[in-house]
Amino acid sequence: MRISFLLHNAYGIGGTIRTSFNLAQALAERHDVEIVSVFRHREEPMMGAPAGVDLRHLVDLRKGSPTNDTADPDYRLPAKVFPRGDGRWKQYSRLTDTRIAAHLRSLEADVVVGTRPGLNVHIARQTPRGPVRVGQEHLTLDSHGYRLRREIGYRYVLLDAVTTVTEADAESYRARFRLPGVRIESVPNSVPAPSVPPADPGSKWVIAAGRLTKVKRYDLLVKAFSKVVAARPDWRLRIYGTGDATGNERGALLALIEQGGLHNHVYLMGAAHPLEPEWVKGSLAAVTSNLESFGMTIVEAMRCGLPVVSTDCPHGPGEIIEDGIDGRLVPVGDEDAVADALLALINDDELRRRTGEAARRAAERFDPVRIAERYEALFAELVAAHGSGRRSRSLWRDAVHRSRSAALDGAYALRYKAADVFRKGRTP
C-alpha cells in the first residue's frame, strides 16, 4: 500500500510527531510511506527523520530560505477550510488552504491519514474519492470546544475511519455522533523498545516527564513528594519538561519547592531528548495529571522497566496500567494517595523490582510493529471496501454531508450577521 500522513509540523517536538514517526517507520518496512508536513520552520526535524519514510513540506517558514512563503499575500489571510475551533487555526491561512487542497488533489496513495482535527477536516472536504480517508484523534473528543465538536459532527461523515488512542474516547465518538459508514476504532500510540538497558530498581530517584502545564498537576506531585521525603529523605525527584511561553508554571513550581525546603530533593530538569537515558536513572515514575488523552510518558517509563504511579484520570492511564501488577492507579487530585503509593514501592525493594519487570513486559504490546500491524489490518479492510457498492455509499454520504454543511454554513452566517447587527446597534 501507499500511505500518506498529513502532519501539522514534522520539524518540531511533540507526542503526535513522535508517535506518527514511530508508526510511519514501522509501516515503511512493508509499504511505501510518506509524511507531508504542512509547515517547515527548520532544516532538520528536531526528533530525527523516520527511516525509510519520504518527508516533504507544503509551506516553508525557514528564515533566509529561497523558498520562504511568508511574503505570499495569501499567508496573511485567514484560513477558510481549516476550522476555527482547532487550536492551531491562527497558524493556518488562505495559503495553507490552497497548498493542502493541491496536495490532496494530486495525491497518489491508497490511504491518507490526518493527525489532528483541522487536517482531518481538510482530508474530508478536499480529498478525491480515490484514497481511503482516515482521521486520527490524538487528544480526546471532550477536550475540544463546542465549535470544533460541531464541525467534527458535520465533516467527519466523509471520512472512512476515525481512530482514537483509547477505547474510552472511541466510545465517546460513537455515542455523540451519527457517522454512517465511518469506522471508529481505538488504536493506541506506539513506543519503540528503548536503546538503553532497563532501569536499576535500586536507584533512589523518581522520574516525571511532560510539559509544565497546569493539567499535569506537578504542584500536586511536589506536595506529595514532600511527604515522601519526610519518611524517606534519601529519595529524590526529577521533573523533565518545559512550560508554555505564555505561562509561568516553572516559576510557580520553583516557589513551591523553595517553600517546602525541597531544593535538595526536587529538581526541574528542563527538556531532554532522547528521554530514555533519563528514565533509566530512576526506579519509579510518577504521573499526577487531571487528564491524559493517552499517556505516552507512562508507556515510555514502563518500556524502560519503571513501574508508574499515576492518577486514574481520563482516558489513558487506566487502559495502560494494571493496578497493583505493573503500576499503581490513584484517585485524581489526592496527594496523600500519590505519596502513599510511592512510599509503598519505595519501602519494598522486591515489590519495586517485580512491578518494574511486569511493567516492562506489559508495555511490549505498544511496540511500533504491533501497532503498525493493527493499522495495516484496518487500512487493508478499508481499501478492500473500495470495491463494489462503495460508490453508491459514497454518493449517499456526500449528499448527507452537503445538507449538513449547508446547515452549518448557514448557521455560521446567521451568527456573524447577528453579531454585526449587534455591533452597529440595530435590531434585526
State residue 392's pLDDT score: 44
CATH of domain 205-366: 3.40.50.2000
Quick one: residue 210, left, alpha or beta (phi over 0 = left, psi -120 to 50 = alpha)?
A: left
Query: Model-level pTM?
Result: 0.86
- Residue at grid coordinates 509551506: 59
Reduce the DSSP state of residue 153 to 3 states and report it. helix
Count the residues in the chain: 428
The CATH H-level superfamily of 2-190+370-419 is Glycogen Phosphorylase B; (3.40.50.2000)
**Mean pLDDT, the chain cut into blocks of 10 residues (428 residues total):** 98 93 97 98 95 98 97 98 97 98 97 98 94 97 96 97 97 95 97 96 97 95 98 98 77 96 96 92 98 95 98 96 98 98 98 98 97 98 74 49 53 43 34
Task: State how beta strands 54-60 and 308-311 pair.
Answer: unpaired
For residue 308, the Cα-to-chain-centroid distance in whole angstroms is 20
Instruction: For the chain, count helices (H), then strands (E).
Output: 14, 13
For residue 169, the Cα-to-chain-centroid distance in whole angstroms is 13
- Residue at grid coordinates 457498492: 389
Exposed e or buried b per residue across 164-176, where buried means at least 16 C-beta atoms within 10 angstroms of its C-beta: bbbebbbebbeee
State residue 71's pLDDT score: 97
State residue 386's pLDDT score: 73
State residue 421's pLDDT score: 35
Establish whether domains 2-190+370-419 and 205-366 are of one fold. yes
State residue 424's pLDDT score: 40
State residue 245's pLDDT score: 54
350 grid coordinates:
522486591
CA distances (Å), origin 90, targets 77, 87, 118, 120: 10, 8, 12, 17
State residue 97's pLDDT score: 98
Domain extents for the chain? 2-190+370-419, 205-366
CA distances (Å), origin 122, targets 8, 81, 133, 165, 346: 12, 7, 10, 21, 50
